[in-house]
Amino acid sequence: ASADSGGPTIFDKIIAKEIPSSIVYEDEKVLAFRDINPQAPVHVLVIPKFRNGLTQLSKAEPKHTEILGHLLHAAKVVAEKEGIMDRFRVVINNGPGACQSVYHLHLHVLGGRQMKWPPG
Ligand code: 5GP
């Protein structure tokens, strides 16, 4: 996982629907789609449609609080739709040391199996 370049990412093409994805939920602000390399039976990514500087959570500023809340709410909607409401995990990897590989903020919604703690 390389560091944040601030440049475009693969998620721009997913948002533009230039490359296909399996969409689970979408509204005017966020897109939720299945991870191409799932780490659990349910593994959905929730991303802002407008990155607005949010390459990673450590770039968050007060202007981002509304979209950050919207993303978390969308994660709950995804868990509900996927039938994992009582047993899901939401993860944000921030930076190379946390295995972030795509520099467009995203929440991982994971479930459908017993989740381990600590995650490693
Ligand atoms: P990160 O490691 O940055 O937290 O998570 C990035 C995630 O994006 C990874 O889990 C990876 O499998 C997923 N991913 C990368 N490229 C694509 C893609 O083209 N389509 C989909 N659906 N997921 C992708």
What is the set of domains in the chain, with CATH numbers?
10-111 (3.30.428.10)
Q: Which atom of ligand 1 is nearest to the CA of 100?
A: 3
Backbone angles phi, psi at 58, to 5 degrees: -65, -10
- In the block, residue with structure tokens 């939401």: 90
In tens digits, the chain (120 residues) has pLDDT values of: 589 999 999 999 999 999 999 999 999 999 999 999 999 999 999 999 999 999 999 999 999 999 999 999 999 999 999 999 999 999 999 999 999 999 999 999 999 999 999 987
Question: How big is the chain by its Cα radius of gyration, in Å?
Answer: 14
Question: pTM of whole model > 0.95?
Answer: yes
The CA 37 to ligand 1 mean position distance, Å, reads 7
C-alpha 36 to ligand 1 mean position (Å): 6
Ligand 1 neighbours by CB, cut-off 6 Å: 10, 21, 33-37, 45, 93, 99-102
Measured distance CA(20)–CA(107) in Å, rounded = 19
The reported pLDDT for the residue numbered 1 is 58
- In degrees, to the nearest 5, what angle opens at C-alpha 42 toward C-alphas 118 and 91? 40
d(CA 29, CA 72): 12
Q: What interface predicted TM-score (ipTM) does this complex get?
A: 0.99
Give the burial class of 87: count Cβ atoms within 10 A of its Cβ; 0-12 exposed, 13-18 middle, 19 or more buried: middle
Ligand 1 pocket: which of 71, 101, 103 to mutate (most atoms within 8 A of CB): 101
For residue 120, the model assigns a pLDDT of 76
Q: Tell me what pLDDT residue 2 has.
A: 82
Residue type, 79: A
pLDDT computed for residue 4 by the predictor: 93
Q: Is 89 exposed, middle or buried (0-12, 13-18, 19+ CB in 10 A)?
A: middle
